[in-house]
Structure formats: structure tokens, C-alpha cells
Amino acid sequence: MALPPSVTELRRARFARRLPVELSELKGPVHGTVRLPLHIAWSGLTQFDLDQARLRMSYYRILLAEGQREDLVRHLNREVLISMWPILRTLISRDIRDVWESAFDELVPGNQAAA
């Protein structure tokens, strides 16, 4: 009899289903003020000024944790994600970090220069 999947395996599978096929799909905004819908930002801030580093970081953290595939493609930007990843990866859950780094070599530490 097979063991049921662990909580970690279930979480990682959930995050993996949300991933874009390629980072190039991420065409979200780079500057300006953005409002996230309530299904993503259901607690706390819903509006973010992407020209402010702290708010941009919060915006990306929320999207990585709560966004569905369509949300990620619409709201995240490939270049911004890659440039912020060295810090962002320390602020998100290990499950999210591992899923994104397993899927996209550009996010693996040491590979950003090649992106």
C-alpha cells in the first residue's frame, strides 16, 4: 500500500501547476501603480507602487504565493523577477523557491548572469 503524499509534496505540486511554461511569458508591468484582485491579495495591501522597492518585493511575494498561472503571466515581469530573485528567494517559502528554481535554470543561484 502506497503512502499518501506528504504536505510538502502536495504544496509543491500545487505551485508547480501554476507555473508558466517559460519565463518569457511573464510580461507584467515594470513601473507604476498596480492593484491586485482580491483573489490574490485577500489580506492587507491590494495596491502596489512598483517604483518602490519594498512594495515591488511585496507584490512579487504575494503573487508567487497566491497567484494562479494567468495571474503570474499577467502581473509578473521576467526581467524584474530575475533581477529580484537573489533576495526574493530568501523571502518566500522553500516550496515556492524550489519549484521555481527546478523549473527555470535562470533562477538557480549562480545562473542569473547567464540569463
Q: Tell whether the torsion through CA atoms of 83, 22, 38 and 15 is positive or negative.
A: negative
CA atoms of 58 and 62, how far apart (whole Å): 6
Condensed to tens digits (0 to 9), the pLDDT of residues 35-76 reads 999 999 988 889 999 999 999 999 999 999 999 999 999 999
The amino acid at 50: L
pTM above 0.75, yes or no: yes
Look up residue 114 and give its amino acid: A
Q: Cβ neighbours of residue 90 under 8 Å, at least 6 residues apart?
A: none
Q: Are 82 and 115 in contact (CB under 8 A)?
A: yes
Nearest residue to 66 (alpha-carbon basis) of 45, 28, 36, 40: 40
